[in-house]
């Protein structure tokens, strides 16, 4: 199975990664998210596209925003949602993940939303699923496709033409699945220039993103940038402490209001969360007029609605 198995109607069966998905599939998902955002605006009860369907959240790693966002998206579309608490699940009694999936599929689960600390787990489950769709909610440092989509939607709302944009990602890119999905979606949408910035130890291998410009000096990277995506130091994914001094990190790579002046006027400030104020971003910038961080959170719901509805043919 390729990562983008299509069914007989040319529809996506699973959403594992944005890599290679193609501009049309991405734009369709973003357009659908916009329609659903409008239909559910101001607390309106929009179309109950998933009434009678069952969505299972399988989160093997702590998550607040992504799990809640998927859950609200599914419930607002009328689905039944099952939250599988992995600490109390049968996998802790030795059952394989494949058997857990088969058991829940036998109970007519229609979709599985999977987060796992190991790269490849959602794809492995997708291979095993007979009928259900699998949505990757973040695996290791591999991919976080709905985050990439919601970031793209947040940017597109202000800047529909990506070819005119300079977008900078700053921070722990090496360990970030968000960065990878952002880079895939930004590439697919034809972004003019993509810049990566951070300490050398936190950069991805040089040949992983050949089209990007790499900077070690944050002020150089910021210069003229239209969009800044700040990333957290993902210590839980570092085998060793690659950044020993957080104050020094903030001095070199923290986004402060003085620094922000180097970027294009009205540059968008983004962060996927969870945010560490005073480490990668100053509190006043996170809360400031250029920050669209809470818009990213809001956009997560229609994006996940669009992904669930599209995969389930609704
Ligand atoms: C991210 C994640 O878990 O991949 N958060 C999120 O889903 N919005 C980023 C992170 O953990 O830093």
CA-to-CA separations, 89 to 21, 74, 96, 126, 127, in angstroms, rounded:
33, 22, 11, 20, 22
Q: What is the pLDDT of residues 96-107, one digit of tens each?
A: 899 999 999 999
Ligand 1 pocket list (CB less than 6 A) = 65-66, 138, 144, 147, 177-178, 232, 234, 272-274
Q: How confident is the model at residue 1 (pLDDT cuts 50, 70, 90)?
A: very low
CA of 218 to the centre of ligand 1 (A): 22
> Using an 8 Å Cβ cutoff, are 60 and 115 in contact?
yes
CA of 178 to the centre of ligand 1 (A): 7
**Does the structure show a pLDDT above 70 at 87?**
no
- Topology of domain 23-143+300-311, CATH: Rossmann fold (3.40.50)
**Does the structure show a pLDDT above 80 at 93?**
no
Q: What is the pLDDT of residues 128-173, one digit of tens each?
A: 999 999 999 999 999 999 999 999 999 999 999 999 999 999 999 9
Q: What is the pLDDT of residues 192-242, one digit of tens each?
A: 999 999 999 999 998 998 899 999 999 999 999 999 999 998 888 787 778
Q: Which residue has the tokens 């040089």?
A: 206
In the beta sheet, which residues pair with residue 169?
196, 229
CA 213 to chain centre: 22
Q: What is the pLDDT of residue 90?
A: 66
Q: What is the pLDDT of residue 185?
A: 98
CA of 52 to the centre of ligand 1 (A): 30
Of 87 and 225, which is predicted with more confidence? Answer: 225
CA-to-CA separations, 186 to 19, 89, 164, 302, in angstroms, rounded:
10, 37, 12, 19
Q: What is the pLDDT of residues 16-57, one digit of tens each?
A: 999 999 999 999 999 999 999 999 999 999 999 999 999 999
Pocket probe mutation, ligand 1, options 144, 151, 175, max atoms within 8 Å of Cβ: 144
Percent of all residues in the chain with a pLDDT value above 70, rounded to a whole number: 96
**Does the structure show a pLDDT above 80 at 5?**
no
CA 147 to chain centre: 2
CA of 10 to the centre of ligand 1 (A): 30
Cα radius of gyration rounded to whole Å, the chain: 19
Burial class (CB in 10 A: 0-12, 13-18, 19+), 184: buried
What residue ranges in the chain does DSSP mark as E strands? 54-59, 80-85, 111-116, 133-139, 166-170, 193-197, 213-215, 227-230, 268-270
Pocket probe mutation, ligand 1, options 17, 18, 67, 147, max atoms within 8 Å of Cβ: 147
Please, what is the average pLDDT of the chain?
A: 94
**Does the structure show a pLDDT above 60 at 2?**
no
- Residue ranges of domains in the chain: 23-143+300-311, 159-291
CA of 1 to the centre of ligand 1 (A): 27
CA of 274 to the centre of ligand 1 (A): 6
CA of 204 to the centre of ligand 1 (A): 17
Nearest CA to ligand 1 atom 12: 232
pTM over 0.85: yes
Q: How confident is the model at residue 89 (pLDDT cuts 50, 70, 90)?
A: low
What φ, ψ does residue 193 adopt, rounded to 5°? Answer: -145, 135
Pocket probe mutation, ligand 1, options 274, 275, 296, 299, max atoms within 8 Å of Cβ: 274
Q: What is the pLDDT of residue 242?
A: 80
The Cα 55–Cα 58 span in angstroms is: 10
Given the candidates 3.40.50.2300, 3.40.640.10, 3.40.605.10, 3.40.50.1370, the CATH classification of the domain at 159-291 is 3.40.50.1370
> Using an 8 Å Cβ cutoff, are 151 and 77 in contact?
no
Q: What is the pLDDT of residue 235?
A: 82
**Does the structure show a pLDDT above 90 at 76?**
yes
């Amino acid at each position: 199975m390729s990562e983008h198995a299509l069914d007989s109607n040319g529809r996506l069966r699973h959403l594992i990664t944005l890599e290679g998905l193609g501009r049309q599939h991405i734009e369709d998902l973003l357009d659908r998210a916009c329609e659903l955002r409008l239909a559910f605006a101001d607390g309106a009860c929009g179309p109950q596209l998933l009434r009678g369907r069952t969505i299972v959240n399988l989160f093997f790693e702590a998550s607040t925003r992504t799990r809640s966002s998927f859950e609200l998206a599914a419930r607002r579309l009328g689905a039944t949602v099952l939250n599988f608490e992995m600490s109390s699940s049968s996998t802790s009694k030795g059952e394989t993940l494949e058997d857990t999936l088969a058991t829940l599929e036998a109970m007519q689960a229609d979709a599985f939303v999977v987060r796992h600390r190991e790269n490849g787990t959602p794809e492995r489950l997708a291979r095993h699923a007979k009928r259900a769709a699998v949505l990757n909610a973040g695996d290791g440092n591999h991919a976080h496709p709905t985050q990439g989509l919601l970031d793209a939607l947040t940017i597109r709302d202000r800047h529909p033409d990506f070819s005119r944009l300079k977008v900078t990602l700053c921070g722990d890119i090496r360990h970030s699945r968000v960065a990878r999905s952002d880079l895939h979606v930004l590439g697919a949408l034809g972004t003019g220039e993509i810049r990566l910035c951070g300490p050398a130890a936190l950069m991805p291998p040089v040949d992983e993103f050949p089209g990007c410009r790499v900077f070690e000096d944050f002020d150089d990277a910021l210069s003229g940038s239209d969009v800044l995506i700040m990333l957290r130091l993902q210590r839980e994914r570092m085998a060793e402490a690659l950044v020993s001094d957080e104050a020094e990190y903030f001095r070199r790579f923290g986004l402060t209001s003085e620094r922000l002046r180097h970027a294009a006027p009205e540059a968008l400030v983004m962060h996927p969360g969870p945010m560490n104020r005073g480490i990668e971003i100053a509190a006043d910038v996170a809360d400031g007029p250029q920050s669209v961080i809470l818009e990213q959170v809001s956009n997560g719901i229609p994006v996940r609605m669009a992904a669930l509805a599209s995969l389930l043919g609704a």
